[in-house]
Amino acid sequence: MKIIKVNNYEELSKKAAGLIVETINHKPDAVIGMATGSTAEGTYEYLVKAYQNKEVSFAQAISVNLDEYVGISPKNEQSYHAYMDQHLFDHIDMPAENHFIPNGKAEDLMGECDRYEKRIEELGGVDLQLVGLGHNGHIGFNEPGTSFESKTQIVDLAESTRKANARFFEVMEEVPDQAITMGIATILKSKRILLLVSGKGKAEILKKLLESEQTESIPATALKGHNDVTIIADADALSLYEQKKNRELKSCV
């Protein structure tokens, strides 16, 4: 895994957006895998700026989102559909028929998982997948213990994930307890993966990810089995990992 260290969240967002713009300019009909959550917001802000400055057009590009809550309508403002509209789609020229997000309100949720998995294949796979890192090491909503062989699936959200995401809801009871998510094997099929990690709050899990062997108890370690993963991490997120490295170096002198 290649690590790009940046000074702060602003630089992380600019760098991530720059890589997406480069991908689309090289391949206008690229399939970009999108993540939601706080970390990706700045990236979308820079993508909107790049579009407004005519540095890129999304007219032929395709987006496939990692996940959506179960039981929440796309119109609900807490849905990831609404998040994507608000942060990206409402401000760029990607046609609505090119936006793919799992439907968490589907009557047949298992059927929806199969359809989503097949849709990604029909699109020719994901060229560049954006991924955030959960405090418990999840990627997409694949919580600790998820098989690395998993495909798009319905998952129970860990209590820690519900608590972390409660900030987007009025009360804790409103936070869904299930989601539909690309599986780990689905994510690993992407040609290139970009993992974004920012802030002191992620320092502990990033250190664990970088130091650990592949283990299902830290889903993000699955990324170590992929040959084109770039981590963009800011100084705060890397602080604990580097502290330990520095201590090791000192004790060798």
Q: Which is nearer to ligand F6R, 36 or 186 (CB)?
A: 36
**Strands, sheet with 62-65, edge to edge from the N-terminal-most edge strand:** 2-6, 229-234, 192-197, 128-132, 31-34, 62-65, 99-100
> Which of 47, 62, 66, 210 contacts ligand F6R by CB under 6 A?
66
219 belongs to the binding site for ligand F6R (CB under 6 A): no
* DSSP percent split of the chain into helix, strand, coil, nearest 5: 45, 20, 35
Q: Which is nearer to ligand F6R, 11 or 55 (CB)?
A: 11
74 belongs to the binding site for ligand F6R (CB under 6 A): no
Distances (CA, A) of 164 to 144, 159, 168, 175, 240: 15, 9, 9, 10, 21
Catalytic residue among 65, 136, 142, 165: 136
Evaluate whether 208 touches 174 at the Cβ level (below 8 Å).
Answer: no
140 belongs to the binding site for ligand F6R (CB under 6 A): yes
> Which of 20, 24, 31, 35 contacts ligand F6R by CB under 6 A?
35
Contact flags string 107-136 toward ligand F6R, x per CB under 6 A: -------------------------xxx--
DSSP for 155-221, written as a single string: EEPPHHHHHHHGGGSSSGGGS-SEEEE--HHHHHTSSEEEEEE-SGGGHHHHHHHHHSPS-TTSGGG
**Whole-number minimum distance, CB 193 to ligand F6R, in Å?**
12
104 belongs to the binding site for ligand F6R (CB under 6 A): no
Q: Which is nearer to ligand F6R, 66 or 233 (CB)?
A: 66
Number of residues that bind ligand F6R (CB under 6 A): 14
Q: Which is nearer to ligand F6R, 45 or 251 (CB)?
A: 45
37 belongs to the binding site for ligand F6R (CB under 6 A): yes
- The count of residues in the chain is 253
> Which of 19, 38, 45, 151 contacts ligand F6R by CB under 6 A?
38
Partnered with residue 194 across adjacent β-strands are 130, 230
Which of helix, strand or coil describes residue 33? strand
User: Which backbone phi and psi does 119 adopt, to 5 degrees?
Assistant: -60, -45
User: Which backbone phi and psi does 11 adopt, to 5 degrees?
Assistant: -65, -35
Residue 65 known to be catalytic: no
**Whole-number minimum distance, CB 216 to ligand F6R, in Å?**
16
- What does the binding site for ligand F6R look like in residue numbers (CB under 6 A)? 35-39, 66-67, 132-134, 138-141
Residues with catalytic function? 67, 136, 138, 143
